[in-house]
Amino acid sequence: ARQVVRPKEKMTTSEEVKPWLRTIYGTSKELVTPTVIAGVTFSAKPEETPNPLKPWVSLEHDGRPKTIKPEIKKGQTKKGRPDYKTYFKTAVTHTYSYEDLKAHNMDPNQKHVEEEYIDEDDTYVSLNPVVRCTPDLYFNKGLAKDIRSEPFCTPYENSRWKVDHTYFVSWYTRFFEDVNSGEVADQVRVHLSYVKENPREKGNYKR
Amino acid sequence: DLPGTFFSSEWIDNLNGLMAIEVDEDWLQNEFERRIVVSVQPKYIPDEDFNPLQYGVLLHITKGSRVFKPTKEQLALDDAGITNDQWYYVALSIPTVVVIFFVFMYFFLYVNGKNRDFTDVTRKALNKKRRVLGKFSEMKKFKNMKNHKYTELPSYKKTSKQN
């Protein structure tokens, strides 16, 4: 005889995400409408007090979202939010002359070049809870796994996308830099195309 | 309008570098699996210059998984004690039948132990062996026997007439 176990009810939240108000760029007010995609809430209202252990959303190899809860172990934060280093910063070089700095250990005719990284405008970027794609998260693809996957971080090559499932395609935004103008493309669009692979390309054709 | 492209999104801001795509069954075109390429076209590259295969990622879109795995619901029902276990009976009954058969065979042989006689079989096998030229003492079966009182007389190949 086995104890009858009630299957757990699937948690469904009936609460609706409500629009919220914020002030950007100092004075202009803006209404932000959160959206929920594949269980991930985008443009959610930030918490009053910043929480270092706030869960964040990472992506599986095939692009499915997964929630990561940071932990504190031995005084260190494990699985914390990824550090984007300077990938989304703009590098500016300043050249200072002796007149500008009047440093005591500087020759009168010496020039000092300093590189400064300017943070990007995170007004809208901060509303995205999903990990952003940086070259650190690239993977190797191709038959010999020797081709970098730039600009994509997800999905990995040969992933299987199933019908009626939602997957995230993520790419490094600064990869699309216009050669002529040197500016990053402000708009992009995603394409899905059919391909036919011959046996050789599939890699199972030996002779 | 790109060759082979069956889905193109709107122009979106290249801000987060992220886009959610829900796989539609129509894209499979009544096949179980299709091979696709995911590619991103920046605004400054016109359609005729854009090559999806240059930086695209090769994927499979499939209707589902080929291998049957119990879904969470089925596992939950199992936990609830609601199981359809006909196959369980089948799986158990086969070895049971085999065991019963062997037990029955053992007792049958045990009961008939007294009235069994295989001498005709052994004789036929030995006759077959005896046709081999050479001494008994050299046969594999008798090689290690030590109680030879005398050496054998030579034996010849029997012709079919002599049988």
The half-sphere exposure of B149 on its side-chain side, counting CA atoms within 13 A, is: 0
B159 or A41, which is more confident: A41
pLDDT of residue B133 exceeding 70, the answer is no
Residue from B57, B72, B73, B77 to probe the interface with A (highest A Cβ count within 10 Å): B57
How confident is the model at residue A205, as a pLDDT?
63
Radius of gyration (C-alpha) of chain A in whole angstroms: 24
Nearest by CB to A190, from B9, B16, B58: name it. B9
Q: Where are the alpha helices (DSSP H) in A5-157?
A: 98-101
Of the candidates B29, B25, B23, B9, which has an alpha carbon nearest to the alpha carbon of residue A160? B23
**CA geometry: angle A169, A171, A175, nearest 5 deg:** 160
The sign of the dihedral angle between the CA atoms of A81, A85, A86, A87 is: negative
Distance, in Å, from the CA atom of A192 to the CA atom of A204, rounded to the nearest integer, reads: 25
pLDDT (tens digit per residue) in A28-59: 999 999 998 888 889 988 888 888 788 889 99
Q: Are the C-beta atoms of B28 and B34 separated by less than 8 Å?
A: yes
Q: Which residues of A touch B23 (CB under 8 A)?
A: 161-167
How confident is the model at residue A154, as a pLDDT?
92
Q: What is the mean pLDDT of residues B1-15?
A: 87
Of the candidates B25, B68, B123, which has an alpha carbon nearest to the alpha carbon of residue A163? B25
Q: Give residues with Cβ within 8 angstroms of A3, minimum separation 6.
A: B81
Per-state percent for chain B, helix, strand, coil, to nearest 5: 40, 15, 45
The sign of the dihedral angle between the CA atoms of B72, B75, B81, B84 is: positive
CB neighbours of residue B71 within 10 Å: 9
Distance (Å) from the alpha carbon of A160 to chain B's nearest alpha carbon: 5
How confident is the model at residue A179, as a pLDDT?
80
How confident is the model at residue B122, as a pLDDT?
84
The residue ranges of chain A whose pLDDT is under 50 are: none
Task: Indicate the pLDDT class of residue B76, thresholds 50, 70 and 90.
Answer: confident
Task: Note whether B2 contacts A193, CB cutoff 8 Å.
Answer: yes
CB neighbours of residue B100 within 10 Å: 10
Helix (H/G/I), strand (E/B), else coil: B77: helix
Q: Which residue of A has its CA nearest to B34?
A: A194
